[in-house]
A and B are shown apart, each in its own frame.
Chain A
Amino acid sequence: MSQVYFDHNATTPLDAAVLAAMMPYLQERFGNPSSRHGFGRSARQAVEEAREKVAVVVGAHPSQVIFVSGGTEANNLAIRGMAAALPASQIVWSSSEHPSVARPCRDLQRQGWKPRRVAVDRDGRFDMDDLAQSLREPTGLVSVMLANNETGVVQDVAAVAQSARAAGAWVHTDAVQALGKIEVDFASLGVHAMSLSGHKIYGPKGIGAVVVDKRVELMPQISGGGHEKGLRAGTENVPAIVGFGLACELADSRRLQEADRIGALCTETERGVAALGGIIFGSEVPRLVNTSYFAFPGIEGETLLMALDRAGFAVASGSACSSGSTEPSAVLLAMGVAPELAKGAIRVSLGRANTGEQVQEFIAVLQVELRRLRSMLSVEMV
């Protein structure tokens, strides 16, 4: 049974202060924000205060923040919602996008859009030449994630946005993994829409937001009742919104406090991994300080994962959403990693509660397990 949690890019534990802020809204302050009586008004006030906090952390105006049920809905609303307001032309995304971006982009074909997937280089960075090439065609929409969930590679979204804007396109960025780990500023990124999620930043699951430039038209994808200025219907999830707001408020200060320490732990992890013959993906480019993605040639990922779980470490292979499948990671394949190596990929994503001791123990366990697996392999070879 795993006890040490090294999978913070999949989800994070809820901050104790966030839980405390949420609890009253489950019970005594349980009103529906659309109700006009006192119960409703106090819920409405809580929602609006949280909206301000979300806006502040990304340098946007509260009126630009639309609450949704999470990062996946945010990506779907941003892409489908903006596309629905535009005449069909070309839609551009990168080959390392999350499925909740890639799928809606691909599906736009049925509405007459021309899909264009831009390559990433061997380090997982958006290929700017390929982007420039693609933007020669009339393009309505470009979507590129700020930080990759698997590799942690940080894209130069501002540069992409600049080129895309120059070509007359609207730009969306999936900032779900970036928020709380690097500075995220809506205005300086120059994008028209941005997706955020609560549970990746020590907030609750079931809540997220789209931040949208007010000059952009967005067509709602969930109809009924006129909530969120008509852009997203459904009774507001007040406790989760309150929790998300506080998690955003805490994100910057906690990040500044913790980034160096977590970064050092990650560096130590990677030093150990490299010493054991591991290959670290995206190691040449800027990455999230908490994320390490690696593989050991010749070693099966699933076997190693099971051994690590038995030894008490919770890590991921590829992204959580698709890790039910045994397909090699699409992100790694897009980076040109051989399928055999990609299949063995392991992601360590550290968080606030992790310690140096845990990392040292992890490396020690890794060493033992690798030795065991390699000896089994060499026996088989004989």
Chain B
Amino acid sequence: MKLPIYLDYSATTPVDPRVAAKMIPYLTEKFGNPASRSHAFGWEADEAVEYARQQVASLVNADAKEIVWTSGATESNNLAIKGAAHFYSGKGKHLITVATEHKAVLDTCRELERQGFEVTYLIPESNGLVDLDKFTAAIRPDTILASVMYVNNEIGVIQDIPALGEICRGKGVIFHVDAAQATGKVVIDLQKLKVDLMSFSAHKTYGPKGIGALYVRRKPRIRLEAQMHGGGHERGMRSGTLATHQIVGMGEAFRLAKEEMAAENERARMLRDRLYKGLKEIEEVYVNGDMDNRVPHNLNISFSFVEGESLIMAIKDLAVSSGSACTSASLEPSYVLKSLGHSDELAHSSIRFTMGRFTTEEEIDYAIQLLKNKIGKLRELSPLWEMHQDGIDLNTVQWAAH
């Protein structure tokens, strides 16, 4: 077994060797610019781009014409939310999203607020799920768009996208879904879902970094204002030379996701449950987020009476995440966990374990043993743990100022 063990598949995944093999010809002899119309190098690249578009559409049961290539889910989220808000600004200026969304959605909403839009940030229930009645109540006559992520990147909970979509369609609100964490984990059927815009990323699903897509519904047709202008690529919705090798990689990654999702989810659930069973033997551990409506490869756990930083340092053999990768360089406690009503301390001592295609049982067993050991040692050093063991309720302690 090789150390460190990678248990951070929601931050990014390695490119599947089968995906890499498909990409390589487009990094070598098939290097043409897909926009070159006057020679075979260009036609060959264009053909590969369209084939991959079909593969991506197929995973989510959409039409290939509804798929727009972008540089990743962050750009897709920006294009969807800003593009729709700007295009439909004559209809209204109100948007709805959720406090536990990814920064790419939240920061985009903040930017729109600076431009004069109004945004409602719904607080989810303590299990991380959005309450449908509260969501419905937030819709105003001037609401133009709602954005809710399919699967949360930190706690892995799956929102009720079918129901939220029905509510939005009924009220004439455009519905955007960030599905960066959902592909290959949740069955997505855009023929059935009342979703108008959906963001995808390749590198969370064993494809390459630097490529993503936005689904833009054609029936009923959703219009967007392009955010990047130039040669008019992607039917004017997103200009810029298409990175053929990355697109081919995303296509193949999504093809594999479709083919292997059922078996893979089964395996991930087995590994996750094994990890959870092992960690439950430690006292005072809490799962963050709903356990039923949750992707099978995610376990987010708070370890009480352990200081977060020391814990991360103590389990260096495990590549895991505390808070989301995008913000984990900062020492701010996770805003997602805080939105669930957690204290700063508990949020700080939370770890996200995400397993994937290349995780083994042996690795999970190693992780369990390591955590049991280290948490035991850290708690031995903790006066708070000692007090807790002595039966003192720490919430009632009057701390002296210093």
Contacts and interface: CB of A to CB of B under 8 A. Distances in A.
The answer on A and B forming one complex is yes
A308 to B, nearest CB: 8
Query: Which interface residue of B20, B108, B329 has the most chain A CB atoms within 10 A?
Result: B329
Contacts of B228: 72-73, 76, 100, 221
A207 B210 contact: yes
Nearest to B29: A13
Contacts of B325: 32, 34-35, 40, 235
A314 B110 CA distance: 47
B208 A239 contact: yes
Contacts of B201: 235
A202 to B, nearest CB: 10
Contact of A14 (B28, B41, B106, B209): B28
Given A1-B40, A69-B240, A321 B231 contact: yes
Interface string A1-40: 1100101001111100001001100111011101111111
Interface string B289-316: 0000000000000000000000010001
A231 interface: no
Contacts of B328: 34-36
B360 interface: no
Contact of A323 (B38, B71, B318): B38
B189 interface: no
Contacts, number: 267
A39 B319 contact: yes
B244 A205 contact: yes
Interface in B101-140: 102-108, 110-111
Interface residues of B, number: 74
Interface in A222-277: 222-227, 233-240
Nearest to A31: B12
Given A34-B325, A227-B326, A322-B232, A205 B245 contact: yes
Contacts of B29: 13
A235 B77 CA distance: 13
A164 to B, nearest CB: 22
A312 B4 CA distance: 52
Interface in A39-95: 39-40, 68-73, 75-76
Contacts of B244: 205
Interface string B22-37: 0100011101110111
Given A76-B228, A100-B239, A237-B209, A309 B37 contact: no
B239 A99 contact: yes
Given A205-B243, A224-B103, A321-B241, A10 B36 contact: yes
Interface in B170-208: 201, 203, 208
A374 B99 CA distance: 69
Nearest to B180: A235
Q: Classify the secondary structure of A's interface with B.
A: loop
Given A35-B8, A40-B11, A19 B72 contact: no
A225 B209 CA distance: 16
Given A35-B11, A324-B35, A206 B40 contact: no
Contacts of B77: 224
Contacts of B230: 72, 75-76, 98-100, 103, 321
B211 interface: yes
B107 to A, nearest CB: 4
B100 to A, nearest CB: 14
Given A99-B232, A322-B231, A233 B104 contact: yes
Contacts of B17: 27
B106 A224 contact: yes
Interface in A146-195: none
A143 to B, nearest CB: 13
Contact of B104 (A22, A36, A103, A234): A234
Contacts of B350: none
B39 interface: yes
Contacts of B232: 99, 321-322
Given A28-B14, A38-B319, A309 B39 contact: yes
Interface in B3-61: 4, 6, 8, 11-15, 17, 20, 23, 27-29, 31-33, 35-42
Nearest to A29: B14
Nearest to B104: A224
B357 interface: no
A320 interface: yes
A316 B240 CA distance: 18
A26 B27 CA distance: 13
B233 interface: yes
Interface string A202-216: 001111000000000
A206 B243 contact: yes
B339 interface: no
A317 interface: yes
B75 interface: yes
A199 interface: yes
Most B CB atoms within 10 A — which of A37, A76, A107? A37
B110 A238 contact: no
Contacts of B312: 36
Contacts of A69: 71, 75, 210, 240, 243
A139 interface: no
Contacts of A225: 74, 102-104, 107, 326-327
Query: What are the 6 A-B residue pairs with the smallest beta carbon separation, nearest first?
Result: A321-B231, A237-B210, A206-B243, A224-B104, A100-B230, A314-B39
Interface of A: 1-2, 5, 7, 10-14, 19, 22-23, 26-28, 30-32, 34-40, 68-73, 75-76, 98-100, 103-104, 107, 197, 199, 204-207, 221-227, 233-240, 305, 309, 313-317, 319-324
Interface of B: 4, 6, 8, 11-15, 17, 20, 23, 27-29, 31-33, 35-42, 71-75, 77-78, 102-108, 110-111, 201, 203, 208-211, 227-233, 239-246, 312, 316, 318-322, 325-329
Given A10-B33, A103-B239, 10 more contacts: A1-B40, A12-B31, A26-B208, A28-B14, A38-B4, A204-B245, A224-B326, A225-B102, A305-B38, A320-B37
